[in-house]
Amino acid sequence: MNVADSEMIEGILQSKNYSSINSIDKADIIFVNTCAIREHAEEKVHSRLGVFSRIKRNNPEVIIGVLGCMAQHLKDDILDSKPYVDIILGPDSYRKLPALLERKIEDKKNIVDTKLSRYEVYDNFFPSRKEGINAWISIMRGCDKFCTFCIVPFTRGRERSRSVNSIVNEVKKAVNEGFIEITLLGQNVNSYKYENHSFDYLLKEIAEISGVERLRYTSPHPEDMTDDVLYVMAHYDNICNAVHFPLQAGSSRILNRMNRTYTKNHFIERAHRIREILPSCGLTTDIIVGFPGETNSDFEETIDVMNKIKFDSAFTFKYSPRLGTKAHEYSDQISEMDKQERLEKVIKLQKEHTLIRNKEIIGNNERVLVEKNSKRSINQWAGRTDSNKWVIFDKENANIKDIVDVLITDAKGISLHGYLVKKKEAA
């Protein structure tokens, strides 16, 4: 999400003749685009800002800006404790950036704009993408779900979707620029709604665009994962066979307290449905441990769902209290020690499940998109299967951006290994 926003901010600035440089010490303007989802993300920004303050000490003319969710969330704190920050802009104010910069250059006062909008979707702004394989395309912004642990509805505002036309145009532009994989983005990507069109319709429209070799999306909400979406995925070969399906917690009591709108059984039923309609689909998830009030037996229910579903991989988090959210006020917070212990358990279990799931595809020919050099050897490529698993294999005659057949021969750690299946030479 932040990569997409940063690319858009860069696009907005480039359209006004600003250009980016590689050396931060030589920059006239420095922006940090921030995330506020967990405390850890905020800590990283604080340490970056420490570096910027030293740069400003040496060069008082440099303009420093904090953009995005943390600006929205912590503007008062930044204003009070970081006087060297000149511009604070929330996620719905990027459009004004060039005008605000001019104002800032003329009169030296600090600028703060964190007004959230019901309508801003940045239609008709083309992000500045680096050359590459995958283009992130933001299709909706904000979130109306208000999970009690989550800051997003407060930092990114109400849910709103871009028009089908503007998305289709951006996809076509990305394809013309050489991108072959498109990833649709949104806080709740499948809650997409524009006029009477929902997410399944949009998926279909984009899958039909010539040159879109691979289509992915993230992050969907389990509540909006309809059969219609799954049928569209099953119908189009270029829509990747992968679903991110965020569980958060296994206990229905905790899910209810999180305001997640589904129960344990409903989640399990939907996960089975995904695998029924999309056999061998890569199924990944997000898990939070140590949500306020989570007892050992609640936690065991998370383990139970993990054992029942066996996700292909998972992002696992310790609950991080976010000021302003409902769960921050709960009095039954879990100790750091218990959170850590539970986190280690889910990480260990997930590693086992990833290996089990990966071993199941040993012997398969998988379609792999060649993406980058493997970290292990310059003679090997790393690429992803349709189901979003990394595969390492000898380069032979394959090139970056090729989609090749790889015979999977081994599964180690979280990666697969294999070799290129040679195509028969023409007679």
Identify what 319 binds: ligand SAH, ligand SF4, none; CB under 5 to 8 Å per kind.
Answer: ligand SAH
Identify what 185 binds: ligand SF4, ligand SAH, none; CB under 5 to 8 Å per kind.
Answer: none
Piece of 139-147, 170-178, 340-348, 379-387 that binds ligand SF4 (CB under 6 A): 139-147
253 binds ligand SF4 (CB under 6 A): no
Within residues 181-200, the interface with ligand SAH by CB under 6 A covers 187-188
- CB nearer ligand SF4, residue 187 or residue 354: 187
Within 13 Å and on the Cβ side, how many CA atoms surround 245?
31
**Rounded to whole angstroms, how far apart are CA atoms 225 and 245?**
9
Binding mask 106-145 vs ligand SAH (x if CB under 6 A, - otherwise)? ----------------------------------------
Residue of 103, 38, 37 whose CA lies nearest to 65? 103
List all residues 6 or more positions away from 313 whose beta carbon is below 8 Å from its beta carbon.
284, 350, 354, 414
Task: Provide the minimum distance between the beta carbon of 286 and ligand SAH in the complex, in angstroms, as a whole number.
Answer: 3
- CB nearer ligand SAH, residue 98 or residue 321: 321
Neighbours of 3 (CB within 10 A): 15
322 binds ligand SAH (CB under 6 A): yes
**Rounded to whole angstroms, how far apart are CA atoms 194 and 200?**
12
Piece of 144-152, 269-277, 309-317, 333-341 that binds ligand SF4 (CB under 6 A): 144-152
- 134-138, strands of its sheet edge to edge: 134-138, 181-185, 214-218
Q: Kindly report the backbone phi and psi dihedral angles of residue 126, in degrees, each rounded to the nearest multiple of 5, phi listed first.
A: -95, 125
Region for 90 from its dihedrals, namely left if φ exceeds 0, alpha if ψ lies in -120 to 50, beta otherwise: beta
Alpha-carbon dihedral 262, 263, 264, 268, rounded to 10 degrees: -50
Identify what 146 binds: ligand SAH, ligand SF4, none; CB under 5 to 8 Å per kind.
Answer: ligand SF4
Candidates 8, 171, 288, 368; binder of ligand SAH (CB under 6 A) is: 288
Task: Provide the minimum distance between the beta carbon of 38 and ligand SF4 in the complex, in angstroms, as a whole number.
Answer: 11
**Rounded to whole angstroms, how far apart are CA atoms 325 and 152?**
10
Count of residues of this chain found to bind ligand SAH when the rule CB under 6 A is applied: 16
2 binds ligand SAH (CB under 6 A): no
Candidates 12, 13, 152, 283; binder of ligand SF4 (CB under 6 A) is: 152
Q: Is 81 exposed, middle or buried (0-12, 13-18, 19+ CB in 10 A)?
A: exposed
Candidates 145, 253, 310, 395; binder of ligand SF4 (CB under 6 A) is: 145
Identify what 121 binds: ligand SF4, ligand SAH, none; CB under 5 to 8 Å per kind.
Answer: none
The pairing of strands 63-68 and 87-89 is parallel
The residue ranges that bind ligand SF4 (CB under 6 A) are: 143, 145-147, 150, 152-153, 187-188, 221
